Structure 1
Amino acid sequence: MTRKIGFYAVVAYVLYGLFFYWYLFQYTSPTLPFEYQGSQADPSTFLNSRELLLSEEYSRVRNFLFFISTPFEWLLYLFILLFGFSKVFKKWGETSAKHKPLQTAIYLFWLNITAFILTFPISYISYSLSKTYHISTQSFPSWMKDQLIDFWVNFVIVYLVVVVLYWLMRKSQKRWWLYGWFLSIPFTLFLTFIQPVVIDPLYNDFTPLKDKELETEILKLASASNIPADHVFEVNMSDKTSALNAYVTGIGSNARIVLWDTSLKELENEEILFVMAHEMAHYVEKHIYIGISISLFFSLFGLYFVYKLMHWIVNRWGPALKISKIEDIQSFPLVLLLISMLLFAVNPLTNLISRYEEKRADNYAIQLTDNPEAGIVTFQKLAKTGLSEVNPPLLVKIFRYSHPTMLERISKLEEESIRLQNEKQ
């Protein structure tokens, strides 16, 4: 049974990979619909022929890496179970320490380091790809530093979750998923609250915006939106990327509007103001809190499905997976496998919700700045510096895009620009 499960899993993964290779490299075409050709959303109007070719190449390879990397994780966790590595890691923990919490920490260390090493090639290929196409400006030592920070931050978070989750499993085999969800609410809020001041600074340096004249203009927009902001923050991303970005993060007193320094270098002030107006919309419309609520809503059903699926899988294939009971720590790779699969499955829906919010934020920026032309130029520069697809394939949009496509965003702004010009006439 073990060999059969492993064989069919590998075959399914290979077929899956071949499908997406065909879909991305053979079936889809970057050609724009006729009605958009020659418009400001047409990449040929703001990218030269070499940039168009690089954008097409880079996007296809990057999208392919996305689609094969997540199922590769599923295969990894499955083989950790099938070959008994999870059982071995548990034994190493038990022989190395007397106390249960320390045994769990040792188990998770070996599980995480194994996953880190086996997924490292894909991570490195992604990094190397962005370097080759001059998206990443990050040195290898700096990139490795971020990878190691990721490892330890994730280790601490996962350790806390696992200790509580498996304690709940032992105490209540039928209701652990519900109690775990209740505890995840304050934990999620706590992580969101501390992220801007504890986690994010581990990766980059954040400082108040140095250009005080620009900060004054931004704070005027904030005042017009009834946002009690005293500072705008900039982050030194130019050491890592040439791409442009800005974002809103945190909740409560730790909420921040952050500009990448690459945006400050490449965008004009009116374009930055449009970006800031967009980010302010997320604050005004409470998108961060809505996002947390949606995440918690999905996690409730997700934990329930994990609970049901684990019992079904262990009852049917427990011996092959080396799992005798759900509440045994060596079942954790199965938890990771199921959560990853569920997250991948709901990705289209969460992206759809996010694209709706981003569309509202764009509309808010148009109303607040009354300058859709600045938005058009901004999005053209975003596409240019990031070699972004203006009109991605349907499956890429569904599974990858948390924002509307550049085709949709620029076309909308172009319509608004024409409408405003007609009104002035």
Structure 2
Amino acid sequence: MRKWLTGSILLYFIYGLFVYWYLFVFSKTGIPASFEGTSADPATFMSGRELILSQDYSTIKNFLYFVTVPFEWFLLFVFLITGMSRKMQEWSNATSKFFSLQSAVYFFWLSLYVTVLSFPVEWIGYQKSKEYNITTQSFSSWMKDQVIDFWVNYALMTVIVIVVYWLIRRFEKRWWLYAWLLSIPFSLFLMFVQPVVIDPLYNDFYPLQNKELEEKILAIADKADIPAEHVYEVNMSEKTNALNAYVTGIGSNSRIVLWDTTLNRLNEDEILFIMAHEMGHYVMNHIYVGIAGYLLLSLFGLFFIHLLMKMVIRRYGTLLKIHSIKELTAFPLFLILLGMLTFVSSPLSNTVSRYQEKSADIYAIEMTNDHEAAVRSFQELSKAGLSQVNPPALVKIFRYTHPTMFERILYLEEHGDKNSNHE
């Protein structure tokens, strides 16, 4: 056990050194010389101080992301190899004769263990965000969100744990297929209730207060044949200076949401472009394409997890204190494999997402026909979030669900040039 623990700590340390070297030493985030002085050059729309802050903040944020992802896997591995998972199952078994209650007790202690040990890293992220004036949230408000996160995730995951282990115990060879089939209505249900049940736990949502702007947005929606009755705004200025807008929910609960920071910082033309972008997602059914892609990946993911769990328990079960896939003790292994497969598949899912975002950008520019407002909105988004215009390749591959700001501004300019030539 000591050998494996020492090896895993050493491996994690080497990984951390590599990430540090890649982000702080190796990576160059400047734009090609041929684009210097263009609207895609951050030096043309950021001050010298903003350029330095965006570089520093983005690098720190990316470093924390890459070192945090495997940190949770490491915690779960320690939970297994030290026998804590085995002990926790024994304690949960003693609390009740009902497996559902045993599962709830076991997962509570597992969640608490990971949350408490991960808290320092989360706190560092919060402090850095506040230091660079991205976060405006007080510590008490931030802690409130952390507590809500814990209980929402615990409630949802407890249901998943109970169902998955019931299936494993009942259908050991095909549990992954039945779990996937049940995940379809469960995922759709979550997406349906999220805007009206989950999101309001964190922020207040209300119809857009600027009725004149809402009429213009709804006019674009009508032009695109979108049956929208309201645009919603959310009071994010209590928590952040960053800008955002998004589409959430499905069916009758689908919503187009604007952060009040976006309303406060961007002018009307820029907001209309962003709204047209969000409507583009609706028109091109990106939400449903995303659901289909997620379900397809989850089918293969659950199948691979089934095979990998069997293989790992067969070879290393004694070391990890796991006797069978049917035991709650094995759940940390399930989470480790799920996390790894999700991370490994993120370049694929991010590539699809970036394609969708580009399509929505093109749709928005064709709807508004205002290239200058579109470019300004992306420049303001970069400034408000202190984001790198041209991030390192690995950051883009593993983190970016949107094209980089350099790419977005560039193809909007090219689109505008083509239109001018045609005219």
- TM-score, normalised to structure 2, is 0.99
Q: Which residue of 1 aligns with 2:346?
A: 347
Aligned residues of 1:196 and 1:249 also touching (Cα < 8 A)? yes
Match of 1:156 in 2: 155
Q: Percent identity?
A: 55
SS in 1 for 2:257: strand
Q: Where does residue 81 of structure 1 map in the other structure?
A: 80
Specify the alignment match of 1:245 in structure 2.
244
Q: Secondary structure at the match of 1:234?
A: strand
Cα deviation, 1:327-353, whole Å, max 9, x if unaligned, reads 101100000000000000000000000
CA deviation profile, 1:26-75 (whole Å, cap 9, x unmatched): 00122211121111010000001111000110011100001000100110
- Is the aligned partner of 1:166 residue 2:165? yes
Deviates more, 1:166-175 or 1:90-99: 90-99
Q: How does 1:15-30 map to 2 (within 5 A)?
A: 15-30=14-29
Provide the secondary structure at the position in 1 that maps to 2:256.
strand
State how far apart, in whole Å, the 2-side matches of 1:21 and 1:125 are: 16
- Stretches of structure 2 lacking an aligned partner (at least 5 in a row): none
CA RMSD, 1 decimal: 0.9
Question: 2:416 corresponds to which residue?
Answer: 417
Q: How many angstroms apart in 2 are the aligned matches of 1:31 and 1:391? A: 7
1:322-377 alpha-carbon deviations (Å, 9 max, x no partner): 10000101100000000000000000000000000000000000100011111100
| CA-CA distance at 1:87 after TM superposition | 1.3
In structure 2, what is the Cα distance between the partners aligned to 1:89 and 1:290? 40
- Alignment match, 1:294: 293
The alpha-carbon deviation at position 423 of structure 1 amounts to 4.5
Q: What's 1:261 paired with? A: 260
Post-superposition CA distance 1:114-134 (Å, at most 9, x none): 000011111111111100000
User: Aligned residue for 2:362?
Assistant: 363
Contact 1:373 1:417 survives alignment (8 Å): no
Deviation at 1:420, TM superposition (A): 3.6
Partners of 1:89 and 1:13 in 2: how far apart?
Answer: 26
Q: Who is 1:128 aligned against?
A: 127
1:374 aligned onto 2:373:
yes
Q: 3-state SS of the aligned residue for 2:237?
A: coil
Q: Secondary structure at the match of 2:236?
A: coil
| Matched pairs, number | 423
1:422 CA displacement: 4.2
**Aligned equivalents of 1:192 and 1:63: distance in 2?**
28
Using the alignment, how far apart are the partners of 1:371 and 1:258 within structure 2?
A: 22
The letter for the 1-side match of 2:290 is G
CA deviation profile, 1:222-276 (whole Å, cap 9, x unmatched): 0010000000000000000000000000000000000000000001011000000
Q: How far apart in 2 are the matches of 1:142 and 1:113?
A: 20
Provide TM-score, normalisation by structure 1: 0.98
- Deviation digits for residues 141-184 of structure 1 (CA, Å, limit 9, x no counterpart): 11011111110110011111110100111111110011111110
Q: Which residue is 1:272 aligned to?
A: 271
The whole-number CA distance in structure 2 between the counterparts of 1:8 and 1:309 is: 21
Q: Which stretch of the first structure deviates more once superposed, 99-108 or 66-75?
A: 99-108
SS in 2 for 1:259: strand
Query: Which residue number in structure 2 is paired with residue 401 of structure 1?
Result: 400
CA distance in structure 2 between the aligned counterparts of 1:142 and 1:45, rounded to whole angstroms = 36
Instruction: Please give the alpha-carbon distance, in whole angstroms, between the structure 1 residues aligned to 2:192 and 2:33.
Output: 47
Q: Give, in angstroms, the shift of residue 379 of structure 1.
A: 0.3
- The aligned residue for residue 234 of structure 1 is 233
Query: Which residue is 1:195 aligned to?
Result: 194
Write the letter of the residue equivalent to 2:281. H
1:186 paired with 2:185, answer: yes
Q: How does 1:310-325 map to 2 (within 5 A)?
A: 310-325=309-324
Question: Aligned letter for 1:409?
Answer: R
Query: Whole-Å Cα distance in 2 between the matches of residues 65 and 38 of structure 1?
Result: 32
Task: Supply the AA of the counterpart residue of 2:33.
Answer: F
| CA positional deviation for 1:88 | 1.7
CA distance in 2, matches of 1:342, 1:415: 37
SS in 2 for 1:238: helix
Within 5 Å, give how 1:10-49 maps onto structure 2. Answer: 10-49=9-48
The 5-angstrom pairing of residues 217-228 of structure 1 reads 217-228=216-227
Query: What is the one-letter code of the residue matched to 2:168?
Result: M
Once the two structures are superposed, what CA deviation does each residue of 1:376-399 show, in whole Å capped at 9, x if it has no partner?
Answer: 000000000100000000000000
Alpha carbons 1:193, 1:251 under 8 Å: kept? yes
Shift of 1:310: 0.3
Q: Is the 8 A contact 1:373 1:413 kept in 2?
A: no
Q: Which amino acid is 2:96 matched to?
A: A
Report the Cα distance in structure 2 between the residues aligned to 1:210 and 1:268, rounded to whole angstroms: 15
Aligned-partner Cα distance in 1 for 2:273–2:281 = 13
Residue 238 of structure 2 aligns to a residue whose secondary structure is coil
In 2, Cα distance between the equivalents of 1:415 and 1:377? 15
> How far apart, CA to CA, are the structure 2 residues paired with 1:36 and 1:76?
45
